[in-house]
């Protein structure tokens, strides 16, 4: 059997990139949360001056999603707990359900890097789900029902973030 190449440095960089992406997503969510709160304040200011009619649905949605995004990590943890029924676990627990990971350190490192990107895409999916819900509060939808699209992104993102529990429920 031929030996597998040593790509541990590449896999480590790949995994570090996933964790860096999660950090960027959290920072973007926080900035968007601040922007939505400021937007809500501007909506109130314009309505108080009489220049615009206040749309309560848009104001409520803007402030709600702004608050959720300001507490993005807590919101993701709560969503994941609601969807999967348990607290967020480390993604490496998912490797226990794939026999190849225990047979070779090479495949264990490859799977670990891949699962770290699944988790990163889960964080991005949850952020996108919240943004779909914000779009739904504006009442302008060009591509279907934003509430259901947002819910789908939230559910699938939460499942991806907690991939270990998801695989445990599928195979266990």
Per-residue model confidence as pLDDT tens digits over 58-99: 899 999 999 999 998 888 887 777 776 767 777 777 777 777
- What is the per-residue pLDDT across 115-164, written as a single tens digit (0 to 9) for each? 999 999 999 999 999 999 998 887 766 677 888 999 999 999 988 988 88
Cα separation, 162 vs 84, in Å, equals 8
For residue 4, pLDDT beyond 70: no
Q: How many CB atoms lie within 10 A of CB 73?
A: 13
For residue 29, pLDDT beyond 70: yes
Cα separation, 96 vs 75, in Å, equals 27
> What pLDDT score was predicted for residue 172?
67
Q: Within the chain, what is the greatest distance between any pair of CA atoms?
A: 78
Element of type H or E holding 76: helix 72-84
Two tokens, residue 134: 């914000």
Q: Which residue has the higher pLDDT, 101 or 44?
A: 44
Cα separation, 22 vs 157, in Å, equals 13
Q: Where are the domains of the chain?
A: 8-26+72-171
> What pLDDT score was predicted for residue 167?
78
> What pLDDT score was predicted for residue 41?
93
Could you tell me the CA-to-CA distances from 25 to 21, 28, 111, 116 in Å, in that order? 6, 5, 23, 14
Q: How many CB atoms lie within 10 A of CB 79?
A: 21
Structure confidence at residue 39 as a pLDDT band (50, 70, 90) = very high
């Amino acid at each position: 059997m031929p030996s597998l190449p040593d790509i541990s440095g590449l896999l480590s960089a790949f995994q570090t990139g996933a964790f860096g992406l999660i950090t960027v997503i959290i920072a973007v969510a926080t900035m968007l949360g601040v922007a939505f709160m400021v937007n809500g304040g501007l909506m109130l200011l314009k309505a108080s001056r009489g220049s615009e009619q206040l749309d309560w649905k848009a104001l409520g949605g803007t402030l709600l999603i702004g608050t959720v995004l300001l507490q993005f990590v807590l919101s993701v943890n709560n969503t994941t707990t609601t969807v999967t029924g348990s607290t967020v676990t480390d993604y490496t627990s998912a490797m226990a359900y794939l026999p190849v990971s225990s047979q070779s350190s090479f495949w264990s490192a490859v799977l670990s890097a891949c699962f770290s990107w699944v988790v990163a895409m889960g964080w991005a999916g949850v952020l996108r789900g919240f943004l779909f819900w914000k779009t739904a509060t504006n009442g302008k939808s060009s591509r279907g029902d934003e509430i259901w699209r947002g819910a789908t992104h939230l559910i699938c993102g939460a499942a991806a973030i907690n991939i270990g529990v998801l695989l445990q429920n599928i195979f266990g």
